[in-house]
Amino acid sequence: MDKQNTITKIHTRYKIFQKEQRDIWESFCLVDFYAPKIKDAIKADEFPTLQIDRIWNDSEKTLKKDATYGALSSLTDKGNYRRTLLEAVLIFENYMTDLIEIVYLDFPGKLHSNKKDSENDNDHIGHSKLIKLILESSDKEEIIDKLVEEKIRGIFYGNPLDVFEKDKAKLEFGTYFKENHKNDLKKLKSIIAIRNIIAHNNGIIDRKYIRESDNNAKLGNKVKISREFLKETIYIISNLTTHATRLILENIYNTTPQGNLGKSIKNMTKR
């Protein structure tokens, strides 16, 4: 393990993550601000008509003013909000996955699950699957890579909040998040529930959502996403990942956060 190389990699990955979250929010604001103005310009015949190339053949379709106006309304009122939430959570999960992978590859011993972990979690690998994985690998390095993939898949197919609440990924978080970010974790649970209901049920509230996220929600209604909810989502995601990264660097790699991460830690503390 090249410790300094890993530390640099983590700082670089964090910088990319923060830029991706900023880009998501700026894209949302851009559409939210300009789409109504474009609608007004279309109504006033100030914009040319749109020619759409068809998917199923090579012909084109001229989009009439009413259809264009309706499409923009859908984009402004629904599409922009949904896309922003889905992308924000996706980037968050990708970042946490990358962090866990970096740590596991440096410290493969963290892949080990004790008996209690195996009884309570769904991310342990079955005996036959493990044998198959070993037989299909060419060397120890490939085996570890595959084990890391399976472990991470198990964590995020389960409850991602366990990474923060229970330190399920063994990132040496201890009880930090339970003691210092209880409200953020509660909100993250709601964020992920809303993301799931949008991704898998077209935003329509089902019994699972009511049972696990909001007892006051009405079955069959569509979840509503506000601008403030999106803004808070990106802040909470950024706050949790910032402190997760800090704890990994401090507790596992015995170093002090620098650069963009160091600045973000100070900014998060001020809020």
Transcribe 208-258 into DSSP letters. HHHHHT-TTPPTTPBP---HHHHHHHHHHHHHHHHHHHHHHHHHTS-----
Rounded to whole angstroms, how far apart are CA atoms 105 and 6?
10
Lowest mean pLDDT among 39-43, 55-59, 131-135, 236-240: 131-135
Residue 120: per-residue pLDDT: 47
- pTM recorded for the entire structure: 0.85
Residue 176: per-residue pLDDT: 95
Q: Which whole-number Å values give the CA distances from 150 to 44, 164, 165, in the listed order?
A: 56, 19, 21
Indicate the average pLDDT of the chain: 86
* Tens digit of each residue's pLDDT (9 = 90 or more) over 174-215: 999 999 999 999 999 999 999 999 999 999 999 988 888 888
The β-bridge relationship of strands 60-63 and 50-53 is antiparallel
Tell me the three state secondary structure of residue 95. Answer: helix
Listed ranges 50-64, 66-80, 156-170, 225-239; the one with the highest mean pLDDT: 225-239
Domain ranges of the chain: 3-108+161-270
Q: Looking at per-residue confidence, does 89 or 70 come out higher?
A: 89
Q: Where are the beta strands (DSSP E) in the chain?
A: 50-53, 60-63
Q: Which whole-number Å values give the CA distances from 90 to 33, 34, 66, 251, in the listed order?
A: 24, 25, 34, 26
Determine how many CB atoms are found less than 10 A away from the CB of residue 80. Answer: 21
